[in-house]
Amino acid sequence: MPTYPDSLFFNTYEASAITGFCGNDLNREALKRPDGAWFEEQWTRVDAKCLFFCGELPIMDMSGDVPSPYFPATSFDQFAGNRETTLFLGFGADERPLFGSLAGLDEEAVEAAGPYKLINLRSLAMQGFLTRADIGALAQGRSLVHWHAKHQFCANCGVATKIAEGGYRRDCDACDHKHFPRTDPVAIWLTLSGDKCLMGRSGRFADNMYSCLAGFIEPGETIEDAVRRENFEESGIRVGRVSYHASQPWPFPASLMVGCYAEALSTEIDMDEEELVDCRWFSRDEVALMQKGEHPDGLTTPPDFSIAYRIISDWVDPENLSGT
């Protein structure tokens, strides 16, 4: 985890550095990507490697002691890779070029082709057999490959576009429009009132799990205004001050979770039953039990790879905020 000297503006603790999907250490070579010849040179290197995705899921090589998402780029034909969704991700610590591509095979064909298996990213992040750098690269690859698969035609004139800058742009030759991969910002926050915090349950959550509230940031909103609006819409509680805490790439398909704390101005809950199945106040001691799996009612908080876990944990144990 990065640490920095104390100063007026910066703490030693960077909470984002230990959220899930954040350990991406790839050198993306932004200045070299516009050179198409350079892209092709990297693609044809004998040591080039590739992440292949079957729909939303990465293909994992199960032949070793630990499953691996990395394949030689020469596996492109084996997996019926698509050059329209093949992009340069960067150079890893081994200085080998890494690419991402959408496979043209379905799950059954992939698993029949060898000791391969499709495993979703949430499971990979939770199981812990991949490094943080591996998970970060997979998150980057999944988001970019998904964008290319869904944006092969110009939104301006409808003509087919082509890959540019190694996959970080698509160009339309017909109207000269340039399209860039999007990242959708989502605010996620913990509302605080004294020694209590507000958490809710979505119908999509695991049984007995409570978490931070969250919502998409809309056009024309600041992060703080989005927190205030969404918190009132979902819980009926007004909040005042909002402070940023951490962020997390969230490749489902391409969001950026922006984590905050919010100061409650009221405490009476008027829950939106279409968004939540429950919403309540919890004491710090109660949340600590939830995180340890010791709550008397079996209540829990999100898994530790999620930014919600980081936000909640740093409130339960404020010593984290000083880097201790």
Q: How confident is the model at residue 314, as a pLDDT?
A: 95
Residue 8 lies in a domain: no
Do 196 and 275 sit in the same domain of this protein? yes
Do 195 and 285 sit in the same domain of this protein? yes
Domain span at residue 193 reads 184-322
In contact, 91 and 27? CB cutoff 8 Å: yes
CATH of the domain at 304: 3.90.79.10
Residue 307 lies in a domain: yes
pLDDT digits (tens, 9 = 90+) for 27-62: 999 999 999 999 999 999 999 999 999 999 999 999
Residue 279 lies in a domain: yes
Residue found under tokens 């000297």: 5
Do 200 and 301 sit in the same domain of this protein? yes
Residue 172 lies in a domain: no
Q: Stretch 123-151: mean pLDDT, rounded?
A: 95
Please report which confidence band the pLDDT of residue 324 belongs to, taking 50, 70 and 90 as the band edges: very low
| Bridge partner list, 162 | 171
Q: Does the structure show a pLDDT above 60 at 236?
A: yes
Q: How confident is the model at residue 277, as a pLDDT?
A: 98
Q: How many domains is the chain partitioned into structurally?
A: 2
* DSSP category for residue 206: P
Structure tokens at 154: 């110009």
Which of 151, 172, 198 delimits the end of a domain? 151
Q: Does the structure show a pLDDT above 60 at 258?
A: yes
Do 189 and 282 sit in the same domain of this protein? yes
Q: How confident is the model at residue 323, as a pLDDT?
A: 47
Structure tokens at 207: 């049984």
* Higher per-residue pLDDT: 322 or 256: 256
Give the global pTM: 0.92
Say if residue 97 is preceded by a cis peptide, omega within 30 of 0: no
Residue 132 lies in a domain: yes
pLDDT digits (tens, 9 = 90+) for 182-195: 999 999 999 999 99
Please report which confidence band the pLDDT of residue 233 belongs to, taking 50, 70 and 90 as the band edges: very high
Please report which confidence band the pLDDT of residue 71 belongs to, taking 50, 70 and 90 as the band edges: very high
Do 215 and 129 sit in the same domain of this protein? no
Do 315 and 221 sit in the same domain of this protein? yes
Please report which confidence band the pLDDT of residue 307 belongs to, taking 50, 70 and 90 as the band edges: very high
In contact, 313 and 292? CB cutoff 8 Å: no
Residue 288 lies in a domain: yes
Do 300 and 188 sit in the same domain of this protein? yes
Give the residue among 93, 51, 102, 101 at the shortest CA–CA distance from 72: 51
